[in-house]
Chain A
């Protein structure tokens, strides 16, 4: 079956622009995670959804970052007024159940803010 997909794969934004990154998890997966990965580093947790409920958003770096999953499937990560330090790869992952299980990752969206 289809894996986790993300779009766009690459995004170039001018500083101050708003961007929206999309994640399509594996069908039926309950949990969805967003991560931010800087060059040469491991992914860092941003936020976690269980179905449509955002249970943990402690990793969001500022109030410019907002995530939603209104119908418990597709999720969107929105970054308002982008800054150069937002440049990174944004990874989405999903897992079948509500607990700590194997996560399946998408290919990521590479964001470059100029």
Chain B
């Protein structure tokens, strides 16, 4: 069964710290992997999309890596700010599937 897991479910760190969010997935035959941000009561905002042939993508203070062989992706956030507080969701599209599967998210809180 194709599944996406995110651990921990919640994380609280002081402002300014660098941090890593983890995502693991079963079945390495993925098409792409995407990281989203969700603010309370809002929809999802796409942060980074990594194609299966890529190892990482960067946007500003965010860097996402992909290791298909181990079934893992990480989202690195540098110099965290209170505005980074949100739920971060990892989603995988497998090559054999016609739908995207989400993890349950990591709720991140940055303390001023």
Contact = CB atoms under 8 A, between A and B. Distances in A.
A100 B32 contact: yes
Q: Is the interface of B mostly helix, strand, loop or mixed?
A: strand
Interface residues of B, number: 23
Contacts of A103: 34, 44, 46, 100
A75 to B, nearest CB: 15
Contacts of A4: 43
Interface of A: 4, 33, 40-45, 48, 55-56, 58-59, 91, 93, 100, 102-108, 110
Residue in B4, B42, B44, B93 whose Cβ sees the most chain A Cβ within 10 Å = B44
A66 B104 CA distance: 25
26 contacts: A4-B43, A33-B100, A40-B104, A41-B105, A42-B89, A42-B104, A43-B89, A45-B99, A45-B101, A48-B99, A56-B98, A56-B99, A59-B99, A91-B43, A93-B44, A100-B32, A100-B93, A102-B34, A103-B44, A103-B46, A103-B100, A105-B45, A106-B43, A107-B41, A107-B43, A110-B41
A100 to B, nearest CB: 4
Contacts of A41: 104-105
B98 to A, nearest CB: 5
